A = this chain, B = another copy of it.
Amino acid sequence: MKKLINNPENVVEEMLDGLTLAYPEYLRKLDGFHVLVRKSSPISGKVALVSGGGSGHEPAHGGYVGKGMLDGAVAGDVFTSPTPDPIYEAVKAVDGGAGVLLIVKNYTGDVMNFEMAKDMAEMEGINIDYVIVNDDVAVENSTFTAGRRGIAGTVFVHKIAGAKAELGANLMEVKETAQKVIENVRSMGMALTSCIVPAAGKPNFTLEENEMEIGMGIHGEPGTHKENIQTANEVAEQLVNKILEDMCLNKGVEVAVMINGLASTPLMELYIVNKRVNEILTEKGIKIYRTFVGEFMTSLEMAGCSVSILKLDDELKDLLDESADTPAFKV
């Protein structure tokens, strides 16, 4: 296990400390909890956004805490949902009186724990609601999921719902916008290599030296199939075609594209994938309004990538263009 860590049991705590020490102008950590909130939280009168989930997907979600995106992020153990208590603590720390929206990726543990935290907050009289992101078109139901998994498309929800909240919308309006993003975003990923959960110390699945898996989840959940490694172009085509089968994109429609690296795949390769994704969409008459290439929702040290496509309208375009200032995402 070649990792730059100290004690496998402390990776989440130390990671959150290191992130907070790097960006104290944005973040503070709640004492005794694996929760990061904006330094300025709570912000009076603004709807607050809280997301989170298992760790190992950095910069998600702590890196997205800041102006124009999240107010709080809750980190579970590696690939493990946070329990309701820290989520509830995050909600209390960020609520500025206008209510809180929880943005939850669709994994059974996350959904259950965020719902319980919502119930706890409601009992304290906090105005709170939630949305569930399920952008991964690869498979219906999966190892940790009923329905589709939530992956990198979640970052578009953070960005766009975050902008809506920053502009002063109320909780129902922010939720509606988040829901609109969820209805319009689709993603699909693939993996070239496995990853090692620090506490386990061994790979959590295996791929042969010449093998890749299409549709792989961000915790190594099975995808649609394994096959011999193909070219970047063929990978891009498989991912985009599967996404487009699930979306109604007429000629002339505008989209945002995210090419997301799972960690070990270098930017060079992500740019090469983007070239083909761009060509495919352009050939179909789909207009690319904005592209984001980088590491947005990772899987420890897994090699591979995902492609996300978000169908835009004027509201979503405007909100996507609004400024965002967080450690890991700036517009």
Contacts and interface: CB of A to CB of B under 8 A. Distances in A.
Contact of A18 (B21, B275, B330): B275
A229 interface: yes
A17 B209 CA distance: 29
Interface in A11-50: 11, 14-19, 21-23
A97 to B, nearest CB: 31
A267 B295 contact: yes
Interface of A, secondary structure class, is mixed
A138 interface: no
B2 A303 contact: yes
A216 interface: no
B295 A295 contact: yes
B193 A22 contact: no
A136 interface: no
A227 interface: no
A235 interface: yes
Size bin of chain A's contact surface: 35 or more
A305 interface: yes
A263 interface: yes
Contacts of A327: 293
B22 A278 contact: yes
A212 to B, nearest CB: 8
Interface of A: 2-6, 11, 14-19, 21-23, 55-56, 58-59, 63, 192-193, 209, 212, 229, 231-233, 235, 257, 259, 263-276, 278, 288, 291-295, 298, 300-301, 303-305, 327-328, 330-331
